[in-house]
Amino acid sequence: MMTYLIFINSDKSFYLGTSTVNSNFETEEFVINQCSEYKENFNYTYNSTPANENEQYAEAIEGSEITIDADETARMNAEIVSNQYQQARRDAYPPLEEQLDNIFHNGVDAWKADIQAIKDAHPKTA
């Protein structure tokens, strides 16, 4: 099974191992690597130079064994879940040009109602 390893680009620190990649991580802040033999209790880093220009992912390098803190893992998972509404809202909002056009043609109150409907459909999690 292929696992995606997500690193913080600025310091190459390992952030997350996952079977799917959320679009929140597809930014320049993160580096995504593929790994066919992921071991949860090891630290990872990456070689930032792909083997060839056609490769999308750089090589993940297995590091030393680490102790996994269950409380920290639970805290991180809770943080990810609690922020999922943000991505859902981003995906639902129309492009800015359409929002401005809506304001121009229908007024601010109509725009606010449309935005509120999206917020209501994707409420903040407690």
- Sorted by where each begins, the domain ranges of the chain are 3-67, 69-126
Give the Å distances, CA to CA, from 93 to 3, 50, 61, 89, 122: 30, 35, 38, 6, 11
The pTM for the full model equals 0.45
3-state SS class at 48: coil
Residue-wise pLDDT for 90-124, tens only, equals: 999 999 999 999 999 999 999 999 999 999 999 98
Among 38, 44, 40, 59, CA closest to 13: 44
